[in-house]
Structure 1
């Protein structure tokens, strides 16, 4: 029986590993719900920001995980998740028996299954729980979480799931299923962003009023969530990275690897990946993913709002 069950009146203790734009918002959401939250990030300034918010800062992942009921890992990929767990000062050796590791990274489902087996062999729980919704919904605790794992893992993780998410989809009792759902989402998101950027730059090439294009398309059948969201960045000429080009270089690369292993064709995802690679190669990798519109503009001579070179 866990100490949380034995002491139902005490605050749930959580650790968040990775206090970037997503992780910091998630940690703040947990604190608002009354959880006792420790945070760690490889960048000391990120930890300092969380301390200013009233959180507990930690010097290492293991330090953050000591005494925690729930450890939430908000890093980029499977390799970083493995390092959080089993690297120097990793959390796996510091977590108490019965605690749950909640993995929010986007990764190949096979990697998620492998990590879950290794974690569960230590007497811990593992919840495969990639997220969607971006930084705004991370801040407000309204993320969508695509989760899979054992009943024990779901039950143990419930306090942070409730704090972080507007919707939690329970997708099965095996780790890897949540990761697979996330990759379907990322395939669509990456293709939709590329299509939106191609369309708005094409409109610019034709000399159309881009504000009016946005108004018309968002009221028409050609609209998508990504068009409505990302084209706002283009119209503002603001490519501050809310979701960077490199994220889709990574995620559509995972889609390609998964599809190749299944001998399954993904030509639209492949074409979109080439555009993200081109934007990264042009120096925009750390800029917002709506920078694909700038790439199209550079290739075609179209003029976009702001019309400034990449940083």
Structure 2
């Protein structure tokens, strides 16, 4: 009965919005096997996503630590592939999250400009290459954050690589809204949003503390993404971060996957939030490296509702819809006349 009520509500909403009769509006919808209703103009899409939490290490001078991080990432890639995932999403610092004191020329007790010659770049590149090779072997799209080296004297980007199921880097997102320490001492900021598609599902990318900037999530809504992938090394106030990620998903009507460090897994919101703001997958809250796997199904009730109601209405209401209904009467501007 719930599915039938949802169906009637969606048809009535279209009829009210377009001025069509109920019968005319009905022609634009069809039921899916799950009982949800989708527009005939769009084919439902689905992709199986794995979100990972890994141990984050802070010293890019430590060769064995970099290699251990690479091995851990590849182990979770194999687990994600064995569980049927088409795409796996890793946290900021999955290979290394260079510490500000470790990198500081004034360290180890004071923060200063980063000395990037301390980074074991050949080892980092070798681990990234091994990850890309495994992605191709597993036919698994892999979203892996890392430092992206630029020509001297420019600081590197804090980046998120998107590796296709053919083992090729197809795009890269560079963190734009950096923390004060990052932009002052460590990284060059990025300049643009990045989207990519897997099996017809469109993803957007964010990094670090960008969870705190709602305009970035709204930007991806305008770019018509289905899911935002946010990789973080941990944010201050995990309860606040959890509420924020749920709010971003619900306000914009898309999935949000947030991947963070395993060592923060007891309290940090590592998992996937549905377009209605509910958590639909979480990694174990035991601090261990792990993955959570979930189907992002475009025909699910929360996704279909966001697509047919929330997102279209918000876009329409922001397009100047209200101007024609506003009252052009001087008395309407007088706030002192009481009742």
Larger strand share, 1 or 2:
2
Point out the structure with max Rg over C-alpha: 2
TM-score in same-fold range (> 0.5): no
Q: TM-score, normalised by structure 2?
A: 0.29
Relative contact order, CA 8 A, sep 6+: which one is greater? 2
